[in-house]
Amino acid sequence: MLLIENGQERGIHIISIVGMGVYNDREVNAYFQKKLWVCVSNPFDEIRIATAILEALTGIPSGLHELNTVLEKIHESIVGKKFLFVLDDVWTEYERKWQSLKCCLKSSASPGSKILVTTCNKNTRRSLTKVSSFSSSAAPTAFSSSSSLLKGFF
């Protein structure tokens, strides 16, 4: 699922995983041009999350405090690139709280880009639109490593 492009699909594909995450895999590293992991946690703070994304992309502190400016810089950093962003430990059940960030990422995404959301909250998973979900509790021993989890999506 992470490494497959679907020509019929429009926009960015958001993947929600309840209970576990995938990040360091040789195939994943080779596939994506940009890759980052951001801990979202609670409370959901859009400017803090956007700033963390920008700083992870550029490797330098942004010093920016306006959401629109940060989102523009994120767009400039990822436009035309295939990316994997892990938004870890998302608790918000309200899609509108991350609408601006999601719009920025969707408009910047190249085909094959993915956003992987980890959450322990099933309501969070349900609140996301256009998501594929995998619950680690459904098959706790079936995916013992990130590479076997990726192969499980194929």
Identify whether 67 is part of a domain.
yes
Residue 53 located in a structural domain: yes
* CATH label of the domain that carries residue 120: 3.40.50.300
Whether the per-residue pLDDT at 131 is higher than 60: the answer is no
Among candidate residues 5, 138, 18, 152, the one with its CA nearest the CA of residue 84: 5
- Look at strands 13-18 and 34-41 and give their pairing: unpaired
Q: What total number of domains does the chain contain?
A: 1
- Residue scoring higher pLDDT (75 or 23): 75
What pLDDT, on a 0 to 100 scale, did the predictor assign at position 68? 95
Provide the CB-side half-sphere exposure for 105 (13 A, CA).
27
Query: Which pLDDT score, from 0 to 100, does residue 14 have?
Result: 72
Query: Cα separation of 62 and 59, whole Å?
Result: 9
Residue 73 lies in a domain: yes
What are the tens digits of pLDDT across the range 72-111? 999 999 999 999 988 888 877 667 777 888 889 888 888 8
Domain extent, residue 36, equals: 13-153
- pLDDT tens for 55-74 read 999 999 999 999 999 999 99
